[in-house]
Amino acid sequence: MIISPDHYLIDQETGEYVWSPERVKAAWNSAKKKLARVMVDPRVRKLVLMVGVPASGKSTWLKANKEPGAVYFDATFTQAWARAPIIEAAKAVGKEVEAVVMATPISVCLDRNACRTPDRQVPHDVVQKMAKGLAGDPPTKAEGFDRIRVVRTIK
């Protein structure tokens, strides 16, 4: 199962991604509620946080790498403060927590982002700021991760 705040930002009538601060807050709340519901399922053994800047390949990697018994939270998680409540929620119900970090060069992310439909493009300065944030605050075991996997992509 994949949980992503982005799923809640897609307009059900038009299929377009609609961003606003209010919608983002509501989307995150909905995603966290869904996470809380599924994490109590005994068939779920671990939570995997997808970590990386926009257009780093998180969703694409997920299409080919899901494993049974895992719930994937697909968001950027470029700072520890954003990861902390999600990790705490999983640990509170005894689940293993893993990070999959997409180590994609920023130039590749910016190129991919530019190829997205206009409603899905993230401003370049935001992508660059997030990349700097992730470089300065990468996931660590001290945060509560049981495993950290780095995926290096160059294309």
Residues 25-39: tens digit of each pLDDT: 888 899 999 999 999
Give yes or no for residue 17 having a pLDDT over 80: no
Give yes or no for residue 20 having a pLDDT over 80: no
Q: Render the burial of 37-64: b for 16+ CB within 10 Å, e for the rest.
A: eebeeeebebbbbbbbbbbbbbbebbee
Question: 59-104 pLDDT, tens per residue?
Answer: 999 999 999 999 999 999 999 999 999 999 999 999 999 999 999 9
Q: In whole angstroms, how large is the CA radius of gyration of the chain?
A: 15
The overall average pLDDT reported for the chain is: 92
CATH of range 2-152; options 3.40.50.300, 3.90.1300.10, 3.40.50.920, 3.20.20.80: 3.40.50.300
153 or 4: which leads in pLDDT: 4
pLDDT of residue 21: 78
Task: Tell me the CA distances in angstroms from 26 to 31, 47, 69, 89, 97, one per residue in order.
Answer: 9, 22, 27, 18, 24
Question: 91-147 pLDDT, tens per residue?
Answer: 999 999 999 999 999 999 999 999 998 888 888 888 999 999 999 999 999 999 999
Residue 82 has which token pair? 């954003």
Percent of the chain predicted with pLDDT > 70? 99
pTM of structure: 0.90
Residue 45 has which token pair? 């053994």
Q: How many CB atoms lie within 10 A of CB 27?
A: 19
Q: Domain map of the chain by residue range?
A: 2-152
pLDDT of residue 14: 82
